[in-house]
Amino acid sequence: MTVAARPQPDTLPGELLMWVLILSELLVFGAGFAVLLGLRLTDPPGFAAAQVRLDQPVAAANTALLITSGWLAARGLAAARSGAAARCRISLLAAALLGCGFLILKAHDYAALADQGIGMESHPFFTFFFLLTGFHAAHVAAGILLLIGVAWSAQPAGVEVATAFWHMVDLIWVLLLPVVYLL
Amino acid sequence: MTRITQVWIGLLLLTGATVLLAELAPPRAVLVPGALILAYGKARLILGEYLELRQAPGWFLGARRGLAGVMVLFAVLALAG
């Protein structure tokens, strides 16, 4: 008697714990975005007036930086898998460098708002703006350290975890951009 | 051109479209769904290609549905004001 072959269930790529982290982070940020949009209902003109003070070109430049660093990270992983350690290191360090560029632009963004006398308590919109973008920037900083950390060994398993974290940071930013800067 | 590079170009094009949409400043009824659809497109590319969820079709389908549901929630909240 033969046992009918059962279809293989979907297997998540990479580390399961990394997916747990990605889902948790998406839920936390998603809740923050929903609360921001919900609060906006209480004072649409006030939120719109606050939002126009943001520097949208800087946000667009930061998006291009993160997307490009994600591309470099993906190239780094492909290089690690093919055993090209030097190419992997260069790609990951370049991705980390662009991450540093993101943080510099973000600091410039905060400084420009501070020059206008805007802080966390200026308006509920800015409370959420600084909390959400600041929390995201902390993730960028952690991602930079991870990328630099795994670049040295260029082992596929470590690179896979670090680049997955980096793509998560990228993913959160592309969702943050419309909610915080545009809507 | 590798798939990774094609995805990168796709993401840059979607970002460019987002910038263009913001520059055109259309009515809110256009801006909100437009910006969220573009964000969905970028998130889908990152999930499917860079996070390699395309290798797990069932999980990818679930992620896309979940993401679409969240985008609808954001759109409803943004348009209600």
> Measured between CA atoms, how close is A10 to chain B, in angstroms?
5
Cβ neighbours of A92 in B, within 8 Å: none
* Whether the predicted pLDDT of A171 surpasses 80: yes
B22 CB within 8 Å of a chain A CB: yes
* Whether the predicted pLDDT of B32 surpasses 60: yes
Percent of chain A clearing pLDDT 70 (strictly above): 95
Mean pLDDT computed over B42-58: 94
* Whether the predicted pLDDT of A5 surpasses 60: no
Q: Give the chain B residue nearest A76 (alpha carbons).
A: B4
> Measured between CA atoms, how close is A51 to chain B, in angstroms?
13
* Whether the predicted pLDDT of A122 surpasses 70: yes
Q: Which helix (H) or strand (E) element contains residue B45?
A: helix B28-45
Supply the mean pLDDT for chain A: 92
B69 CB within 8 Å of a chain A CB: no
Percent of chain A clearing pLDDT 90 (strictly above): 84
DSSP string spanning chain A? -PPPPPPPPP--SS-HHHHHHHHHHHHHHHHHHHHHHHHHTT-HHHHHHHHTTS-HHHHHHHHHHHHHHHHHHHHHHHHHHTT-HHHHHHHHHHHHHHHHHHHHHHHHHHHHHHHTT--TTS-HHHHHHHHHHHHHHHHHHHHHHHHHHHHHH--HHHHHHHHHHHHHHHHHHHHHIIIIII-
- Report the 10 Å Cβ neighbour count for A42: 10
Model pLDDT, residue B19:
93
Query: In this predicted complex, what is the ipTM?
Result: 0.93
Closest CA to A174 of A92, A27, A48, A65: A65
Domain ranges of chain A: 16-182
Contacts of residue B68, Cβ cutoff 8 Å, sequence gap at least 6: B40
Report the top-level CATH class of A16-182. mainly alpha
In Å, what is the CA distance from A169 to each residue of A23, A99, A173, A174, B32? 12, 10, 6, 9, 23
Hunting for tokens 């600091």 — which residue is that?
Answer: A107
Please indicate whether, in this complex, the C-beta atoms of A30 and B55 are within 8 angstroms of each other: no
Residues, chain A, total?
A: 183
Q: Give the chain A residue nearest B33 (alpha carbons).
A: A183
Closest CA to B56 of B5, B64, A77, A78: B64
Hunting for tokens 């492909």 — which residue is that?
Answer: A78
Model pLDDT, residue A37:
94
A38 CB within 8 Å of a chain B CB: yes
